[in-house]
Amino acid sequence: MTAIFFKEINAFFSSLIGYIVIGVFLVIMGLVMWVFPDYSVIDGNYATLDTLFAMAPLIFMFLIPAVTMRSFAEERQSGAIELLVTRPVTDWQIVAGKFLACLVLVLFALLPTVLYYFSIYQLGAPKGNLDSGGILGSYIGLLFLASAFVAIGVFASSLTGNQIVAFVLATFLCFFTYLAFDYLSRLPVFFGKTDDIVQSFGIAYHYNSVSRGVLDTRDLTYFISISALFLAATVLSLGRRKW
Amino acid sequence: MSVKVTHLTKLYDLQRAVDDLTFEARKGEVLGFLGPNGAGKTTTMKIITGYLPQTGGAVEVCGFDVEKQSLEARARVGYLPEHNPLYKDMYVREYLEFTARLNRTSNARKRVEAMIERTGLASHRQKQIGELSKGYRQRVGLAQAMLHDPEVLILDEPTSGLDPNQIVEIRQLIKDLGREKTVILSTHILAEVEAVCDRAIIINKGKLAADAPIETLRQQFSGQSIVTAEFSGAVSQPQLLAIPQVQSVKNLGKGRWELRAAVEDDIRAAVFHFAVQNKLTLLELHKSVFSVEEIFRELTK
């Protein structure tokens, strides 16, 4: 597993992919947080990181599929998958190696945003007047969300030999699991009756819950389950040749 | 027995790609796997390496069942797939070190260096695989397959697309490997089988058509020795048939004739005497046995 993990990490940073992903994420975040007048912290007059945590999932929705789209699709296309799965490693090890490598890349992109916390800490009036617990919770939520998106992306990539198909499919699945349940819950069939249950299928519901700074086991269970579900589906899809 | 295939069957939908195939490969032997395109060579190899599951029958590698003890079996197999898929953006050494770690090879660095030397990649070790020519890529593929010192090597068309010099080098490498390991090599170049393999297995439409050492195959199959003779003057068919031991006669045009006799009889002396008696000059006299080419065509018709 470590062999695959380090190979994938090397692939990100020996090509432009890693730098572009981190760069693009930080540029968009920087613009939204500090420059664009409608959202920026400076114009908002509140010492919060809410903008970051509202925007990051939307950026991840496109950026993470771009990171994960090649993970299996490229090898399926080139045939290298045949060599990989005939080595003495289990399919789970292959999937885990690739999943963790993509997740670490996303972590690298997220890490510099910790600077924003310190900036806002200084800008608060009085200094340090911000909800640190909430921010920590939000970061944890964002990590879980990223891991769910990466699992979805790796799964989509394992389905096809075409990277563009993998990207589009992953973006759609990320969008669907993140937001669609919120919107669906407003349909007349559910509204006012079971809308809460419908919402709880979506990532957004649990993400917002964690963002309040309360780490509820239900939310943790949800996030771990959704990542595990898609990773298991990936292993299944990798073993498809055996059906 | 290094590789043991028993009653192997593989169905793709309703098509029988491999049909009740049974054979064995021993240590210290290069086994040639022959057959026309679509005969089931690649499918069989994919099953031995554990990439595809079989529909029926069993495959054992060094005593491990490839389905039930997959990891143990896979650890003992080196595999060069048909189109030699490699990661084009990786460097030669980086790629080999990755493979070494994947195979959990002990002292990976030393093994990688040794393999680079052995496959003649020394001057290319710092290059990206994508920059290499086809011949060198094939060497990387071979190095990758041999890296963890496996007992069994499965090579699917290892010399396809190489130039004649490279073919000779790679064949020599395979021959050397065959002394200490079990090598199963598929090809449709028949000269390759004659040059490299100790034993040949010919399969046709998924079925075993022949399994024998090359020499035996050649003798058994021929059953007849063929003598080509060219005479300066006109000869008739009954005249030639009168030569002792000649079984059949065929005119190849002008004064050239093909005479067939039992494999243990040498009729060349008799043909010479025939020419002398009839005051004819013998322009050509040549004895041949069936080539692997002919055997192959005969068996896979």
Measured between beta carbons, the chain A residues lying within 8 angstroms of B102 are: 3-4, 84, 87-89
Q: Do the Cβ atoms of B86 and A82 come within 8 Å?
A: no
Q: Which residues contact A232 (CB under 8 A, 6 or more apart)?
A: none
Confidence of residue B292 (pLDDT cuts 50, 70, 90): low
Q: Look up the ipTM and state it.
A: 0.86
Say if B64 is an interface residue toward chain A (CB within 8 Å).
Answer: no
Specify the pLDDT at position B254.
Answer: 78
What are the tens digits of pLDDT across the range B48-103?
Answer: 999 999 998 999 999 999 989 989 999 999 999 988 899 998 999 999 999 999 99
Say if B12 is an interface residue toward chain A (CB within 8 Å).
Answer: no
Specify the pLDDT at position B233.
Answer: 80
Say if B105 is an interface residue toward chain A (CB within 8 Å).
Answer: no
Can you tell me the distance from the alpha carbon of A74 to that of A67, in angstroms, rounded to the nearest whole number? 12
Say if A17 is an interface residue toward chain B (CB within 8 Å).
Answer: no
- Residue in B102, B106, B152, B155 to test binding to A, most A beta-carbons within 10 Å: B102
Closest C-alpha among B197, B273, B266 to residue B226: B266
Q: Do the Cβ atoms of A14 and B81 come within 8 Å?
A: no
Q: Which residue has the higher pLDDT, B142 or B188?
A: B142
Can you tell me the distance from the alpha carbon of B85 to that of B272, in angstroms, rounded to the nearest whole number? 57
List the structure tokens of B121: 């990649």
In this predicted structure, which of B70-74, B206-210, B224-228, B291-295 has the lowest mean pLDDT?
B291-295
Specify the pLDDT at position B107.
Answer: 85
Closest C-alpha among B145, B146, B152, B125 to residue B136: B125
Q: Which residues contact B197 (CB under 8 A, 6 or more apart)?
A: B30, B31, B32, B185, B214
Measured between beta carbons, the chain A residues lying within 8 angstroms of B79 are: 83, 86
State the smallest CA–CA distance between residue A77 and chain B in angstroms.
10
Specify the pLDDT at position A230.
Answer: 96
Closest C-alpha among A157, A155, A165 to residue A228: A155
Would the pTM of this model clear 0.90, i.e. be above it?
no
Confidence of residue A236 (pLDDT cuts 50, 70, 90): very high
Say if A84 is an interface residue toward chain B (CB within 8 Å).
Answer: yes
Of B72, B74, B83, the CB nearest to A86: B74
Say if A3 is an interface residue toward chain B (CB within 8 Å).
Answer: yes
Indicate whether B163 pLDDT > 70.
yes
State the smallest CA–CA distance between residue A63 and chain B in angstroms.
22
